[in-house]
Amino acid sequence: MTTMLHGCLADTDYFETRSSAGHAYGIWVTTPPGHDPATPLPAVYVLDGNWAVGMTAPLIVTQRDPMQRIQPYLQVSVGYAGEEAQHWDRLRNRDLVPPGEPVAQEFIDAVEMGVDTGAMTRAQADAYLAELRDSRADAFLGFLTEELHPRIERDYGTAADGHGLFGYSYGGLFSLYAWLSGSGLFDSVGAGSPGVVSEGSRVFAQLREMGDRPFAAKLHVTVNEQELLGELAVYRNLARNTADVLHRLASRGGAVTSAVLRETHVTGLQASFLSYLRTCRAL
């Protein structure tokens, strides 16, 4: 990492790796201030690293907050590298969306609105939607747990347990998918504004399949006030379907927690991550 970037993201290493499927990923590893490398720490994996690392990695200082201490952890932010980095906003569709996830008409309408307003070109919109038609969250979950984590464990001497996962928007959908899949790696999972846009989401099928099976991992879900009350149908659907998921999980008591944040979908990422830390990783 350059000197300038290291000044912005203190105590952060960066490396690039390729998955067994051939996809290039950029990985930022942030350790707490004054961390002794001989002390094993659990890892918290944060998705959408190209966007999220700058807003979430600095919050590692919460481990020294005298008013509300957070359990020590090292943060592993996962994004895209090389030429793929400039296309992170569409490649995330491939990695974070469960296979077979339907694309809601409201979501297509939101993409078309982006074309109409000049926020994206027709070619960009078509490429964005194309990634959703062959989504592989299953393969990406395998990359995190079977390829990336063993390397982090080896290079940083992580703790044997206590690991976490946080994702926002489609990253939040992936977090729900990983939690419902029963991945044994994560002890806590944060799902911020999960992109459960369609009533036919694979998440609901997973809920039916899980039945009354207990889950050891904590799950914390957040939505934003302006998603609930705003004018965009895609966000209202997201909030309504997320509430439906939470209602179906209500019987699980303390293993599942939730919060409504006073944010929009765009501004909610950092607040959602902090809510996850305070709820699932407080001392």
Q: Is the pLDDT of residue 203 over 60?
A: yes
Please state the domain extents for the chain: 3-280
How confident is the model at residue 8, as a pLDDT?
A: 72
How confident is the model at residue 3, as a pLDDT?
A: 52
Residue 169, φ and ψ in degrees, nearest 5: 65, -120
Q: Is the pLDDT of residue 214 over 80?
A: no
Q: How many CA atoms lie within 13 A of 203 on its CB side?
A: 28
What number is the average pLDDT over the span 123-150?
90
How confident is the model at residue 50, as a pLDDT?
A: 95
d(CA 102, CA 209): 18
- Residue 12 DSSP SS3: strand
What number is the average pLDDT over the span 36-53?
96
How confident is the model at residue 7, as a pLDDT?
A: 60
Query: Does residue 7 or residue 190 have the better pLDDT?
Result: 190
What number is the average pLDDT over the span 201-218?
88
Give me the helix-helix angle, 202-210 and 170-180, nearest 10°: 20
pLDDT above 90 coverage of the chain, percent: 71
What number is the average pLDDT over the span 73-88?
93
What number is the average pLDDT over the span 229-234?
91
CATH of the structural domain 3-280, one choice from 3.90.1170.40, 3.40.50.1820, 3.30.70.3340, 3.30.930.10:
3.40.50.1820
For the chain, state the CA radius of gyration. Answer: 18
Q: Is the pLDDT of residue 235 over 80?
A: yes
Nearest to 76, CA basis, from 97, 106, 56, 100: 56
d(CA 88, CA 81): 9
Nearest to 270, CA basis, from 204, 215, 230, 224: 224
- Residue 70 DSSP SS3: strand
Q: Cα separations (Å) of 1 from 6, 15, 148, 201, 215? A: 6, 9, 19, 39, 39
Range from 161-170, 190-199, 247-256 carrying the lowest mean pLDDT: 247-256
What are 151's two structure tokens?
């390397």
Q: Is the pLDDT of residue 250 over 60?
A: yes
How confident is the model at residue 218, as a pLDDT?
A: 95
Greatest C-alpha distance within the chain: 54
What number is the average pLDDT over the span 34-61?
95
How confident is the model at residue 6, as a pLDDT?
A: 56
What number is the average pLDDT over the span 240-258?
89
Give me the helix-helix angle, 105-116 and 233-248, nearest 10°: 150
Query: Cα angle at 107 between 140 and 54, to 5 degrees?
Result: 55
Instruction: State the chain's mean pLDDT as an integer.
Output: 91
What number is the average pLDDT over the span 120-130?
81
Query: Does residue 233 or residue 162 have the better pLDDT?
Result: 162
Q: Is the pLDDT of residue 251 over 90?
A: no
How confident is the model at residue 4, as a pLDDT?
A: 46
What number is the average pLDDT over the span 142-159?
97
How confident is the model at residue 130, as a pLDDT?
A: 78
Query: Does residue 230 or residue 108 have the better pLDDT?
Result: 230
This prediction has a pTM of 0.93
How confident is the model at residue 183, as a pLDDT?
A: 87
How confident is the model at residue 211, as a pLDDT?
A: 78
How confident is the model at residue 156, as a pLDDT?
A: 96
Q: Is the pLDDT of residue 279 over 70?
A: yes
How far does CA 220 lie from the centroid of its chain? 12
